Structure 1
Amino acid sequence: MRWLFIEDSDSSELEVLLRKRSQDEEVLKLIRILEDFGDLKQDIIAIKSEDAIELLRLEELIAVDVEAGSLVLTSSKGRLVTKDRLYQFKERYLSENFVQVSKQTIINIHYLERMEASFSGNRLAYLSNGYKTSVSRRYLKALEKALGL
């Protein structure tokens, strides 16, 4: 087997090209490996706060909020505060179970208990542990799609 890496400053997405005379079992096996690699997500993440590094299981994460320039992670075990950026955190760790519901909030839909109408077309989402947040009209369609509505 040979391989070649080509740096491409125009592309930010990983592209893999397989070349062989025929699509045999070796090629199919490599395709399965590549597909599995793309599906890999961390289930435990390390969160660096001012005085410690905490480990958190993603399945325990209820919501991620931006508050006063900090990122607040609300989990079933409590709250963690870090200096991460919301978009970076979302790209790095979150999967299809997490949906952005406003400019500053992402929720885990597994913890969503109900939604109610709020003012100006927004919704109020109620999650486990007494957590509630506003769902803006801009993000409502993505949330409904994630819920299968």
Structure 2
Amino acid sequence: MLTNGCASFPLLKLGYCNTKALEYAGKELREILKPDLPPVWHMGECLDNARASALFRALADFLGKDIKDMPFAFASPEWSNEKGVSAALGFRLLGINSYHSVYPPVQGSKNVMKYLFEDTKKTLGSVMVVEVDPIKLADKIILDIKQKRKDLNWNI
């Protein structure tokens, strides 16, 4: 899991960006990361998405896949301001769905909302998912990642 911006602080404070947090990771993830890498990687400031994008590109290239086909997800549980919309669109330009617990601050136009939520599937290969129940949102992210893994013929 990667984190940046404001979301990083609680994860850092809780110790998830430390190797001691490996005890909370699943067996397979622990095997890959131990002993030197934590389960959550801090990647920089709020809109510093270049590092994460570069990592996604490197992983996809290494596997000979397109980023849009990889089991990646962008989650921004809350919008602190409108620049979060551009961060979400940045990842969606790569074909990565964005997941949110709060509706984006762009509700002035039905056409804009329709484009952000639905029409980008055709143009970008990704959609914006908003689910105000965080448990349901997490379930949706997991379901979508499992589907991407299945589409890649990876054991799930």
Q: Which has the higher contact order (CA 8 A, sep 6+)?
A: 2
Which TM-score band applies after superposition, normalised by the shorter structure?
A: under 0.3
Task: Give the structure with the higher percent helix.
Answer: 2
Q: Which has the higher strand share?
A: 1
Pair member with larger Rg: 1
**TM-score for the superposition, normalised by structure 1:** 0.26
